[in-house]
Chains A and B, each alone.
Chain A
Amino acid sequence: MKYYDHDHDVDMAWCPGCGNFKLIDAVKKALEELEIAREDLVMVSGIGQAAKTPHYINCSFFDGLHGRSLPAATAIKATNPGLTVVVESGDGCSYGEGGNHFIHAIRRNPDITVIVHDNMVYGLTKGQASPMSRRGFMTPVQVTGVYMEPFNPLAVAISLNAAFVARADCGDEEKTKEIIMAAVRHRGFSLVDVFQPCVSFNKINTYKWYKDNSYYLDETHDPGNRDAAMKKALEAGPFPIGVLYAHDTNKTFEQNLAAYGADSLPLYRRKPDMPELIKLIESKR
């Protein structure tokens, strides 16, 4: 049994062959190899099939509302900066319902890792378009095909100067694990968009499609070069896989908070300062 496996039976809600199985293995291996103690880890998710991932990992988790994982994760990290916070949710949850939080969480730059299961479709609601669906993708709702420009999370993240921006393909478990490890290690907001086929509702973007339509970045790509990263992020066929952008220049959200200016204790270890509060009330007398 592996460190992050449950010691009880788990009834996993995923379809046979789902990309989530490969991704969860990569995540568990990455966390294990990083030697993160179980009690120091919190996984945060929203709603959807991907968002069930934390339930299948033996660790603390906060599985909140659809689209709202980032506000919760940001606050958890700010409340106890000693915790390692990893967010996992789908492309609908992260980029659709939670689109506004995605933008502003990047701007805030909490030291968290965000893994997005990108299958270009809504699975749990049975096959509607996601913000990542390609043009022309037919669904029971988009009956004449998707006509909207697909969302580009990597370009958006780079434009907002996110600390770490990467793409992985869960078909390659080993490489995915390595990218996730680099993301968790990196200080600041780390985004890993993971190609993850939905075998039930997306017959177009399959394991094979993702493999045929992507390539790994090689050592000629400099992740410290924002312009080069942006150029790579705009490539949409084939899609580059790997670390597009990584830099370590901005202060994290937690580091910017006045609450940690004079005191590094997590919030739960603090008591209200009544003498100081009495002084404040006295100043109103």
Chain B
Amino acid sequence: MNEKAIEYRHDISIVISGEAGQGIQTLEELTATAAKSKGYHVFTYSEVMSRIRGGNNSTEIRISSKRVDAYVRRIDLFIPLNERATDRFRDRITENTSIIGDRGHVDCSFTESGCSTLYVSRQEIIDEAGNIRYFNSAVFGFLCGLMEINETEAGRILSGRLKSKDESNLKKNAVALAIGYRWRRDPSVGGRIALTLAPSESAKTAPRFYGSEAVGIGALAGGCNFLSSYPMSPSTEVLTFMAAQAARFGVVVEQAEDEICAINMAIGSWYAGGRAMVTTSGGGFALMCEGVSLAGMSETPLVVHVGQRPGPATGLPTRTEQGDLNLVLHAGHGEFPRAIFAPGTREDAVELTCRAFSLADRYQVPVFILTDQFLLDSSALAPDLDTGRLSAESHIISTEMGYARYAFTESGVSPRGIPGHGEGIVCSASDEHDEGGYITEDFGLRVRMMDKRMKKEEHLVRVAEAPRLYGPEEYRVLVVCWGSTVTAIREAREKLKIMDLSVLHFRQVYPLHPETAGILSQADHRILVENNATGQFGRLLTLHTGITFQDTVLKYDGMPFSVEEVADSLSRILNRKHSGGEKK
């Protein structure tokens, strides 16, 4: 066994694994809070099974000296919380992994893989703190010790998080915390690991949140004051967040009886002057499609958050995928304009969700925020969040006598009045209608109304978000992605250090920015990376630009891309090309 200390100088990846109900989420929160207070960047991603108790859940916590927001396959430190905790990690535990756990929780076959096993004793916890359930507090103490956080500070963070402030409970947690610090000092355990990251002030002061919170914060910034939804993983956290903020920010939050109700409520609210959003996932959104079409026809603004998970049907309820772009792109019968944002980071989620409200209101169209379980359930610092850029435009007018809701205008956008605000009446219909909103079957009027509605797409194209380029302006290889995959791809690019490779990230997937074709055509070699089985966005790009991709990297096992996976795939593709493989 290697007795030399293992030093982590830039970044450490810690995985804590156990069963549902064992407090993994709490441990994740505590550790992330502690790391940030120390001035470290931190990223967490928890993956859970679709059940309430038992099974095997885990969280990956990356602590780093610089910005970190991607998932890695590598495990530096593995902490099993029960005897089955190692089962699903066999292929990720290598000779570079250190396992810290009770002998009963560490499968002895792992020692053969060459990993370092650092044994602690759960019996110590039972003997001194009185119950095995304080084990997590000891793990937290151990990790704080590793980060050189003093025990008083760790104790403060721990007690701040405990639900029960009962004296004896606090005391027992403190005892367990102290045991964790003891493990840290033990030369045969923590003494063999050194964490020597450079802390930074920027990490200390940056906000840290989950993707779901970022969507909620963005909605509030956009003036969201109505949220109607039906719970569905992974979008429910946005509903929960908004419910918690309802009284503070004056938001009507209602759990609808089904998704059809949810979207029709949201549309009704916008009609009456609210700024409404629904949050759902693919299956729930499928039920909302007729409502999307109603928003298109009645020119009612609408914001829809779709948190993707793998389908078809119920699929893998708690996992991640980018499989619903086509659904969102084509949702609703008939033809009408729409916009789709796909945030890649927490900063994006705040900024784009906020913007969705102004865009929906200005052009009276449905606007979608397309996220996924990976973005929603992962947390990271958002050092680039610029709250000064957040604003909520309102385009409601006070009506006059004789007001016509669908008056023809040059821009195609009719001034939008709401009932009860002004002297006019506001008539809105899902049937084809005249300027006043009354049902018509006049063919000529039908064409003029269609043209008026479709004209709004020109505006949406004009104000579309430009894709973001990471890497040199002059590139030969272009890796194209959208939504949450950008973090792993960005880090893979930094790792690969290929001079003429850039990453192009689309934060808006529809309509496409007018310069898209130009940017894509500059590259000799285009590689598409998507977290789905068919490369939906690639097909959309080809359809709109005529430009194809020489290679695709697709993943659809329910897990997000890891940095290593992207780097390996890109290396393999590029090595093949460089070693004389023919270009298509």
What residues of chain A have their CB less than 8 Å away from a CB belonging to chain B? 13, 38-42, 44, 47, 52, 54-55, 58-65, 68, 70-76, 78-80, 82-83, 100-101, 103-104, 108, 257-263, 266-268, 270-274, 276-278, 280-282, 284-285
Task: Tell me if A76 and B272 are in contact (CB < 8 A).
Answer: yes
From A13, A42, A75, B276 is in contact (CB under 8 Å) with: A75
Q: Which residues of B contact A72 (CB under 8 A)?
A: 264-265, 267-268, 271
**A65-B290, A100-B261, A267-B273 known; A60 and B220 CB under 8 Å?**
no
Chain B, interface residues (CB within 8 Å), range? 35 or more
CB <8 Å contact, A65 and B272:
no
Complex contacts, A268 vs chain B, CB 8 Å: 272-274, 396, 418, 421
B264 A64 Cβ-Cβ under 8 A: yes
Contact check, B253 vs A258: say whether CB atoms are below 8 A apart: yes
B260: interface (CB < 8 Å)? yes
Assess whether B574 is interfacial by the CB under 8 Å rule. Answer: no
Question: From residue A178, how far is it (CB to closest CB) to chain B in Å?
Answer: 26
Determine if A273 and B266 form an interchain contact, defined as CB atoms under 8 angstroms apart.
no
B527 at the interface (CB under 8 A from A): no
B221 contacts the other chain (Cβ, under 8 Å)?
Answer: yes
Chain B residues within 8 Å of A64, by CB? 264, 267-268, 294, 298, 430
- C-alpha spacing A213/B213, complex, angstroms: 59
Query: For A82, what are the chain B residues with a Cβ–Cβ distance below 8 Å?
Result: 420
Q: Which residue of B lies closest to A58 (CB)?
A: B425
- From A39, A47, A277, B425 is in contact (CB under 8 Å) with A39
**CA of A80 to CA of B270 in the docked complex: distance in angstroms?**
11
**In the complex, what residue of chain A is closest to B219 when comparing beta carbons?**
A272
Q: A71-B268, A100-B258 are in contact. Are A39 and B429 (CB under 8 A)?
A: no
Determine if B250 and A63 form an interchain contact, defined as CB atoms under 8 angstroms apart: no
B385: chain A residues at CB < 8 Å are: 281
Q: List 8 A-B contacts (CB under 8 A).
A: A44-B268, A61-B427, A64-B268, A75-B265, A258-B251, A259-B246, A259-B252, A285-B208
**Contact A71:B420 (CB < 8 A) given known A61-B428, A277-B220:** no
Given contacts A274-B221, A281-B387, A285-B207, contact A267 B425 (CB under 8 A): no
| A-B residue pairs, 6 tightest by C-beta | A268-B273, A72-B268, A75-B268, A71-B264, A284-B207, A60-B419
Contact indicator B427/A60 (Cβ below 8 Å): yes
Number of A-B residue pairs at CB separation under 8 A: 203
18 new A-B contacts, CB < 8 A, other than A61-B428, A103-B257, A276-B248, are A60-B425, A61-B427, A63-B428, A65-B290, A65-B291, A68-B291, A75-B264, A78-B254, A79-B269, A80-B273, A80-B420, A83-B272, A104-B261, A257-B246, A267-B225, A268-B273, A277-B217, A285-B205
Cα A270 to Cα B246 with chains together (Å): 14
Given A268-B421, A274-B221, A79 contacting B226 (CB threshold 8 A): yes
B430 touches A78 (CB 8 A): no
Distance, CA A261 to CA B253, complexed state (A): 13
Q: Are A65 and B225 in contact (CB under 8 A)?
A: no
Q: Are the C-beta atoms of A267 and B217 separated by less than 8 Å?
A: no
Check B387 against A71 for contact (C-beta < 8 Å).
no
Considering the chains assembled together, what is the distance between the CA atoms of A272 and B392 in angstroms? 7
B226's contact among A78, A103, A263, A278, by CB below 8 Å, is which?
A: A78
* Contact in complex: A62, B387 (CB < 8 Å): no
* Chain A residues near B473 (CB-CB < 8 A): none
B window 215-240: CB within 8 A of A: 217, 220-223, 225-226, 228
Q: Is the CB of B269 within 8 A of A267?
A: yes
Q: Which of A41, A47, A70, A75 contacts B266 (CB 8 A)?
A: A75
Of the residues A41, A78, A101, A263, contact of B257 by C-beta under 8 Å: A101
CA of A42 to CA of B272 in the docked complex: distance in angstroms? 9
B209 within 8 A of A: yes
Which A residues are in CB contact (< 8 Å) with B438?
55
Which residues on A sit within 8 Å (CB–CB) of B271?
62, 72, 76
| B315 CB-CB contact with A under 8 Å | no
Which residues of chain A have C-beta atoms less than 8 A from B247's C-beta?
A: 258-259, 261-262
Report how far A144 CA is from B104 CA in the complex, Å: 70
Q: Is the CB of B272 within 8 A of A274?
A: no
The answer, yes or no, to whether B390 is at the interface (CB within 8 Å) is: yes
Q: Which one of A41, A47, A75, A280 contacts B228 once the chains associate, using CB atoms below 8 Å?
A: A75
In the complex formed, the residue of A with least CB distance to B405 is A60
Known: A78-B252, A280-B217, A284-B207. A39 touches B419 (CB 8 A): yes
Q: Give CA–CA (A121, B115) in the complex, Å.
A: 74
Judging by beta carbons under 8 Å apart, are A83 and B420 in contact?
Answer: yes
Instruction: Write the B189-222 contact mask toward A (1 if CB under 8 angstroms, else 0).
Output: 0000000000000001111110001000100111
Residue-wise, chain B 413-431 has the 8 Å CB interface mask toward A (1 for contact) of 0000011111111111111
| Chain B residues in 8 Å Cβ range of A262 | 247, 250
